[in-house]
Amino acid sequence: MIQAKHKLIIALDVPDRQSVRQYVTMLAPYAGMFKVGMELYYSQGPGIIEEIKSLGGKIFLDLKLHDIPRTVGRAVSVLAALGVDMLNVHASGGLAMLQAAVEAARSAQQPPLMIAVTALTSLDERVWRQELGFGCSIEEKVRDWALLAKQAGLQGVVASAREIEIIKTHCGREFQVVTPGIRPSGSEPGDQKRVLTPGAAIAAGADYLVVGRPILQAPDPVAAARQILEEIEPVSTDLNVGSCLVLDT
């Protein structure tokens, strides 16, 4: 399951260092990366990055930066210097903001993979059109944002597995897609709306899958992680695609 491991990002959506140490120590053999999101980063600060690195974990810092270009550029400079492996911004911030993020990341000693968040997987078409007021479909807007991110120089996007094909068609097979909203068969979707199973997401062309609750809240987190790897290993071997899988919370 070595190849499959590098496709899995485990979301550390926990608030304290003790839980982080416990899960990273336990799950490092089964994860290509660990996701540090807002809850963990805001409660523990930048020191949690060094903590995870000291335990041998690679890091996807999921803060979804979205502000004026100057502010985002400065924030990316600070965060990239922490030695994270992946970092994201919101695609909806516009071309100038995305370019500022890319330029700042490139100046780091070890530049992280820069990706842009498109449409959150908690959104469905009703919310998209009625509450947010978009006149196009989610898929169409995700395509547009992915093209904008590529134009700005980012290496990929965060998007639902349901939008992978349109992204790859318009941005190229090498353009990375990090896929949240992954739920193993039989799992509760929770607050996620646009979901797929791990195997289906990899078959669709996902490069990375992010998984949180289906692993962390399982009676046996190691067994849950291994089950996901066993599901995606034959698919990823057959397709020889992708790098990582993120099961979102």
Domain of 159, CATH number, reads: 3.20.20.70
Query: Sign of the C-alpha dihedral, residues 96, 102, 103, 105?
Result: positive
Q: What is the rounded (10 degree) CA torsion for 172, 175, 180, 181?
A: 0
Model pLDDT for residues 53-66, shown as the tens digit of each residue = 999 999 999 999 99
Instruction: Copy the structure tokens of residue 115.
Output: 């990706």
pLDDT of residue 195: 60
| pLDDT tens profile 144-195 | 999 999 999 999 999 998 899 999 999 999 999 999 878 776 555 555 455 6
Structural domain of 182: 2-248
Torsion of CA 14, 242, 138, 88, to 10 degrees: 50
Residue numbers annotated as active site: 64
Q: Any residues with CB less than 8 A from the CB of 153 and at least 6 apart, and which?
A: 98, 99, 102, 114
The tokens describing 144, both together, are 């547009």
Label residue 48 by pLDDT band (50, 70, 90).
very high
If one counts the domains in the chain, the total is 1
Residue 74's pLDDT is 98
Average pLDDT over residues 105-132: 94
Beta bridge partners of 8: 209, 245
Cβ-based neighbour number of residue 64 at 10 Å: 16
Which two three-digit tokens encode residue 221? 């987190």
| pLDDT above 80: residue 197 | yes
